Amino acid sequence: MGIKERKEKHKEDLRQRILDAAKELFLKDGYDATSIRKIAEKIEFSPTTIYLYYKDKADIMYALHQEGFKLLSGQFLVLQHVHEPFERLKAMGRVYMNFALNNPDFYELMFIMKEPIEFVKAHCQGEEWEEGEQAFSSLTMTVEHCKAAGYFTKFDTTTFALNIWSLMHGLCGLKLQGHLDHMASTKVELFEGGDLMEVTFAGFVKMLEGLK
Amino acid sequence: MGIKERKEKHKEDLRQRILDAAKELFLKDGYDATSIRKIAEKIEFSPTTIYLYYKDKADIMYALHQEGFKLLSGQFLVLQHVHEPFERLKAMGRVYMNFALNNPDFYELMFIMKEPIEFVKAHCQGEEWEEGEQAFSSLTMTVEHCKAAGYFTKFDTTTFALNIWSLMHGLCGLKLQGHLDHMASTKVELFEGGDLMEVTFAGFVKMLEGLK
DNA sequence: TTAGGAATATTAACAGTGTTAACTATATTT
DNA sequence: AAATATAGTTAACACTGTTAATATTCCTAA
């Protein structure tokens, strides 16, 4: 029964090719410009064929959304080798920041846009999600370790982690949206201190150190 | 020459009616669902007429964007009467949070979407912007006053203000995008402590108090 | 008062979008 | 070989923002 398997594989192959084409378009031109028709053209199939492999556009975008989380999780994983917890926390901030800067479209898809998470709510009932939760638990664990090392002792771990995530997410959002650059260009005195995102992050680290 | 004035007025009137219709649709159904054709239908003109009064859809959305900033600025202005600076800072956080929760579409348009600020960059050369900068300077001034009262003395005012904005913006973004609720629904132990946004904000305030 | 011209508004069209129903060709099973 | 399941396509629907060409209205100047 090798023939059935080969067909299965071919089918899985095409599903992957669709995703690859979508990814290429997405990373080049962003969400809106990634149309079903353009994906179809790239893989040289008719547009409707795509609907045999993915439920709809949101389904494709959700698949990319997952890829993004794998990418970020992988980058976080490396940091487990930084033993000093506060150093690791700082490094996580850097990684998160750089991920947003280097993969702005992924970042948008993962943390800013509504579509993919609404797809989760609608079609992936309850469980799943793994990647995202894993990334957040990396953070809470690091905060926990920091507490053991004498940092943030007065604070609840989860609440503190959420504060850190909020700040980093907000910073990335303001940067990607252009608000930070806009402020740097109008408020001249801000421009002197170098990149506003970098300066703000440095300020945040200083703030965290102040909570030892 | 009252006739010319009347015409001017009529023209300004129609411009406003377009904006009102757009606003109504926008607040009811969001950005994407606010189409030129639907706006036109609402004011009983043909779709193309709208282009005589606004350059394009982004232009209309920019006008709403401005309205949103006026709304928020107005709410901030009231807080000038809170004399104790740290109390005022906390109140600003609350106002910002509630603004995001009560006007999610406005918040998205003002702080999350790319379109309007790209319109500013493309068409409003350099100057203008007022409302947004005014809101931020409300914040920096309050931070400055806090410093005078013994808070955050070790920190640069602008950097600190940017950190505060980032955190509040990130928190609102995570809430509106659904990430916070999603976490509350999966991680059961988080749900017990009440609304996650509220809890996080309380943690932030505590953090700021720790920096006195 | 009437002709000209500007301002205003409309129709028709272009080039797209996501998505579905109906149809065809291919391959597998009975 | 006939029936059936699978894979893919064509055509269409109902939209979108936007522009060019056309019609209508209104004010001004001869």
Domains of chain B: 1-54 (1.10.10.60), 58-209 (1.10.357.10)
The 8-class DSSP code of residue A43 comes to H
Q: Tens of pLDDT along A68-95?
A: 999 999 999 999 999 999 999 999 999 9
pLDDT band, residue A12 (cuts 50/70/90): confident
Query: If pLDDT is split at 50, 70 and 90, which confidence band does A19 have?
Result: very high
Residue B8 has a pLDDT of 62
Would you state the pLDDT for residue A1? 42
Instruction: Determine the Cα–Cα distance for residues B118 and A104; give it in Å rounded to an integer.
Output: 16
Asked if B141 reaches chain A (Cβ–Cβ under 8 Å), the answer is: no
Q: Is the pLDDT of residue A130 over 80?
A: no
pLDDT of residue B182: 87
Round and report the angstrom distance from CA (B46) to C1' (D20). Answer: 16
Q: Check whether A210 has a pLDDT greater than 70.
A: yes
- Rounded to whole angstroms, the Cα distance separating B211 from A34 reads 47
**Residue B32 corresponds to which tokens in the numbers above?**
């994407």
Q: Is B4 within 7 A of strand D by CB distance?
A: yes
Q: Are B157 and B144 in contact (CB under 8 A)?
A: yes
Q: Which residues of chain B neighbour A146 with C-beta distances below 8 Å?
A: none
Q: How confident is the model at residue B122, as a pLDDT? A: 83
At residue A118 the predicted structure's pLDDT band, cuts being 50, 70 and 90, is confident
pLDDT reading at A18 higher than 80: yes
pLDDT of residue A155: 97
Q: Tell me how far apart the alpha carbons of residues B91 and B68 are, in angstroms, rounded to a whole number.
A: 19
- The pLDDT tens digits of the residues spanning A44-71 come to 999 999 999 999 999 999 999 999 999 9
* pLDDT value of position B1: 40
Positions on chain C within 7 A of a protein C-beta: 7-12, 16-22, 28-29
Shortest distance, CA A128 to any CA of chain B (angstroms): 10
Task: Indicate if CB(B38) is under 7 A from strand D.
Answer: yes
The answer to whether the C-beta of B121 is closer than 7 A to strand C is no
How many CA atoms lie within 13 Å of B22's alpha carbon, on the beta-carbon side? 26
pLDDT band with cut points at 50, 70 and 90 for residue A190: low
Task: Find the residue in B nearest to A126 (Cα).
Answer: B186
* B46 within 8 A of B8, measured Cβ to Cβ: no
The pLDDT score that the predictor gives to residue A126 is 59
- Asked if residues A83 and A9 have their Cβ atoms less than 8 Å apart, the reply is no
In chain B, residues with a C-beta closer than 8 Å to the C-beta of A30 are none
Q: Answer yes or no: is B51 CB < 7 A from strand D.
A: yes
Q: Is A154 on the interface with B (CB under 8 A)?
A: yes
The pLDDT of A101-106, averaged and rounded, is: 98
Give the helix ranges, DSSP H, for B30-123: 36-43, 57-78, 85-102, 104-107, 115-123
CA–CA separation, A9 vs A168, rounded Å?
Answer: 41
10 Å CB burial of residue B19 (0-12, 13-18, 19+) is: buried
pLDDT above 70 coverage of chain A, percent: 92
- Identify the residue with better confidence: A127 or A164: A164
pLDDT value at residue A115: 85
Distance A37 CA to D2 C1' (A): 38
Give yes or no for residue A5 having a pLDDT over 50.
yes
The nucleotide lying nearest A59 (C-alpha to C1') is C18
What angle, 0 to 180 degrees and rounded to 10, lies between the N-to-C axes of helices B157-177 and B131-148?
120
pLDDT value at position A64?
A: 97
Q: A150: Cβ under 7 Å from strand D?
A: no
Contact between chains at A117 and B186 (C-beta distance less than 8 A): no
Digit-by-digit pLDDT tens for chain B (212 residues) are: 445 555 566 778 999 999 999 999 999 999 999 999 999 999 999 999 999 999 999 999 999 999 999 999 999 999 999 999 999 999 999 999 999 999 999 999 999 999 888 888 888 766 567 778 889 999 999 999 999 999 999 999 999 999 999 999 999 999 999 999 988 887 767 667 789 999 999 999 999 999 98
Q: Using a CB-CB distance cutoff of 8 angstroms, which residues of chain A are in contact with residue B186?
A: 129, 133
pLDDT for A184 equals 85
Q: What per-residue confidence (pLDDT) applies to B89? A: 98
